[in-house]
Amino acid sequence: MGEMTFKLGVATFAGGFIFPFMIRILWGKMVDNWGPIGGWMAAGFIVGTAWTLTHGVSMIHQTGTAWIDMAWAAGFGLMAASAISGDCLKKCIPSFVYSIVGGVLGGFILSCFM
C-alpha cells in the first residue's frame, strides 16, 4: 500500500471531514423539508456521495492493515461538531455505545461466513 505522505494525509483528513459535514448541514434540512422521504433521500445522497468520493475516487488513503469505516468518521465528526456548537454530549453517549456494540456484532457476524 505504501506510506502516508503529507498530500495523502491532507486528502484523507478532508475525505473524513466531508461525510459528517454533509450529514450535519444537509440531513436535518432534508427531513424538515420533505419529511420521512427526505431522510431516505438524504441517506442515499449523502452516503452515496461521500462513499464515491472517499472510496470510488480514492480520496482516503489507508496504510497497512488499518481499517477505517465511514461510520467512525461520521460518529467522531458529529460528536466534535456537537461539542464545538455547545450541544449536550450526554444525550449522544447511549447512541454512540449502541453503535459500537452494533458494529462489533456486525463484524462478528460477517466474520462467521467470510
For the chain, what are the domain ranges?
A: 6-113
pLDDT for residue 63: 66
User: Rounded CA gap, 102 and 96, in Å?
Assistant: 10
DSSP letters spanning 53-108: IIIIS--S---TT----HHHHHHHHHHHHHHHHT--STTTHHHHHHHHHHHHHHHH
pLDDT, one tens digit per residue, over 27-68 is 999 999 999 999 999 999 998 998 888 888 878 776 655 555
Percentage of the chain lying above the pLDDT 70 cut: 91
pLDDT, one tens digit per residue, over 91-102 is 778 877 887 888
Percentage of the chain lying above the pLDDT 90 cut: 23
pLDDT for residue 69: 67
pLDDT-derived band at 22 (thresholds 50, 70, 90) equals very high
